Amino acid sequence: MNRDSVIYVAGHNGMVGSALMRRLGTSGYTNLLIAGRRDLDLTDQREVFSFLRHHRPDYVVVAAAKVGGIVANNTYRAEFIYENLQIEANLVHGSYLAGVRNLLFLGSSCIYPKFASQPMPEECLLTGELEYTNEPYAIAKIAGIKLCESYNLQYGTNYLSVMPTNLYGLNDNFDLEKSHVLPAMLRKFHLAKCLMDNNWPAIRFDLDKYPVENIDGSASAEAIAGVLDRYGVSLRGDGVSMVRLWGTGKPRREFLYSDDLADACVFIMENVSFSDLCGERSAEVRNTHINIGTGEDISIGDLAAMIMRVTGFTGVFSFDASKPDGTPRKLQDVEKLSRLGWRYTVALEDGIGRMYKDYGSL
């Protein structure tokens, strides 16, 4: 890429997209193209095709997606598969029609089988059954990989796919119903700490920023306590706060700081082409996507204890084993990316600390 290349970042307001915007900016890319939801509906084919034909970017980054944690994925199954298929199909085909040669598609580690070998190499794609709770989302992301591969093979484009592990960082989603495990935990421990400290101004401030079931900071203390209790945050009779978390705490997850992901993406955009990923060209070209992660994981129980330390929460937490755990373990094999020359830099506890500092300043 040239520093004056027109780079369109779809989903620039999200955690991943905003991290990419920061990273591209610090790397000297000055011609960044963006469009908010009010200006461009990515599920509308006509709008997307027209936008791409008009602007004709040199590079398209597909960081836009409908995302969420285990509750949201399992509850809104139709929305997760439909909207993600629409977004990626519109952007990939629209880019091809507009003559865009270079594109980066961001997927997810949930594309891999529920009981894949650990750590999960790119080659285990489509070798087993997916985790049921996020199957619709995973299928949509697999379709995105195959879109990029197929357009490359048929049309000679350079559409790359990267599969980030579980992400966290600045501008994350803290909706208690729809967020991923780490930001949901961080918010629960923060609210539990405030509850234990009888810090109602902080609780009301938090709910004004992120209402829960339409309960904001103006609601009564009784209403606020009720909704927090429904989401696993409560105060015992002895004044000690409790946090209840889903599952057993035994599953293991890998987490990558969003700015590290952005750095990896820019590295790939600058240094990698589809031909580099095909190996010995044969009748079948598969698994050209690239895992992005740390190559290290942690149990959900240990993650909870880490977040408890970072937030300074001194109450107690427990797990509800009647709730689903999801995939037992999701650790990505990052050897391919390591061979290409990239490695993460932000340690998990340090990243959570940065995230909490930013969250507390809201």
Provide the 10 A C-beta neighbour count for residue 133: 22
CB 14 within 8 A of CB 171: yes
- Per-residue pLDDT of 2-42, as tens digits, reads 899 999 999 999 999 999 999 999 999 999 999 999 999 99
Give the whole-number percent of the chain exceeding pLDDT 90. Answer: 87
Say what the pLDDT of residue 218 is.
97
Q: What is the mean pLDDT of residues 236-264?
A: 96
Say what the pLDDT of residue 282 is.
64
pLDDT higher than 70, residue 305:
yes
Q: What is the mean pLDDT of residues 224-240?
A: 95
Could you give the angle at the alpha carbon of 326 between the alpha carbons of 182 and 111, nearest 5°? 90
Q: How far apart are CA 193 and CA 173, in angstroms?
A: 20
CB 22 within 8 A of CB 262: yes
Pairing of strands 329-330, 290-292: unpaired
Which sequence positions are flagged as catalytic?
A: 137
Q: Which of 123-127, 177-181, 188-192 is predicted with the least confidence, judged by mean pLDDT?
A: 177-181
pLDDT higher than 60, residue 362:
no
pLDDT higher than 60, residue 164:
yes
CA end-to-end span of the chain: 36
Q: Give residue 361's pLDDT band: very low, low, confident or very high (50, 70, 90).
A: low
* CA–CA distances in Å: residue 72 to residues 103, 219, 231, 234, 306: 28, 25, 14, 22, 24
Q: Which of 44-48, 234-238, 342-346 is predicted with the least confidence, judged by mean pLDDT?
A: 234-238
Q: What is the mean pLDDT of residues 169-182?
A: 88
- Per-residue pLDDT of 46-82, as tens digits, reads 999 999 999 999 999 999 999 887 788 888 999 999 9
Average pLDDT, the chain: 94
Q: Which of 75-84, 228-237, 257-266, 282-291 is predicted with the least confidence, judged by mean pLDDT?
A: 282-291
Residue 303, both tokens: 């993650």
Q: Which of 6-20, 101-115, 272-286, 332-346 is predicted with the least confidence, judged by mean pLDDT?
A: 272-286
| Beta-ladder partners of 104 | 61, 160
Q: How far apart are CA 42 and CA 226, in angstroms?
A: 37
Find tokens 């602007």 and name the residue. 55
Give the whole-number percent of the chain exceeding pLDDT 70. Answer: 99
Q: How far apart are CA 345 and CA 362, in angstroms?
A: 26
Q: Which of 109-113, 131-135, 358-362 is predicted with the least confidence, judged by mean pLDDT?
A: 358-362
Region of residue 305 (phi > 0: left; psi between -120 and 50: alpha; otherwise: beta): alpha
Question: How many DSSP H helices and E strands does the chain contain?
Answer: 13, 14
Q: Give residue 129's pLDDT band: very low, low, confident or very high (50, 70, 90).
A: very high
Say what the pLDDT of residue 280 is.
66
Q: Give residue 220's pLDDT band: very low, low, confident or very high (50, 70, 90).
A: very high
Q: What is the mean pLDDT of residues 184-205?
A: 96
Instruction: Sketch out the chain's domains with CATH numbers.
Output: 7-171+254-296+330-346 (3.40.50.720)
Q: How many CA atoms lie within 13 A of 154 on its CB side?
A: 8
CB 211 within 8 A of CB 105: no
pTM surpassing 0.75?
yes
pLDDT higher than 90, residue 44:
yes
